[in-house]
Amino acid sequence: MHMAFKVLFIGLVCSLAIALKAGAAEQPSSLTRTNMANGKKMSLYLVSGTVSAVGAEKTKLQDLPLEQAPLFTSDEIVRYDIGSHAFLLTKEAYEKVARLKVPTDGRAFVVSVGDRRVYSGAFWSVFSSVPWYGITIVQPRGKGRQELRIEPASTGQKDPRNDPEILAIMKSRK
């Protein structure tokens, strides 16, 4: 089995186990809060057009064309574990992620805080055999809402998932 696939598969299994153990209970009061300190939201935008994940990785972050509206924002994150970067979305946001068309070479996204683009990554299918070493969210499969996880890049570079503004926003999503 390809090493990248093993890592993704293990991450998916661990995320599912955590979600089942936690019971995936929603807390409605957390659904409408943004970071009280700065009023900004974290947003995840899909890269628009035909830019592949690999193509997005080779393009300057500011030059990537984004969809007009985010796929989801921090307002739609019910729970976020800062240590593992595992998160649970509202039912509506989760369904949008589950319905995504993810090709075998991934579906690129950009995470931003307010207007500032922080990092790019890709949704990836567990069935893909194409190697990918960037930041990844494995597209969920199966019935029911599952916890998702933003997997780190395996490039040895500084981890942008730990951006201070993102972590401040996500602290309210425990």
Place of tokens 């999503």: 173
* Measured CA distances, 144 to 12, 19, 57, 73, 161 (Å): 15, 11, 31, 20, 26
- DSSP letter string, 69-134: S-SEEGGGEEEEETTTTEEEE-HHHHHHHHT----TT-EEEEEEETTEEEEEEEEE-TT--S---S
Q: Domain segments of the chain: what residues?
A: 3-170
**Does residue 142 come out as left (phi exceeding 0), alpha (psi in the -120 to 50 range) or beta?**
left
What does the pLDDT profile of the chain (174 residues) look like in tens digits? 444 444 334 443 333 333 333 333 333 333 333 334 457 899 999 999 888 898 898 999 999 999 999 999 999 999 999 999 999 999 999 999 999 998 888 899 999 999 999 999 999 887 787 777 889 998 887 677 789 999 988 877 789 999 999 999 998 766
- Which residues on neighbouring strands pair with residue 123, listed in sequence order? 107, 137
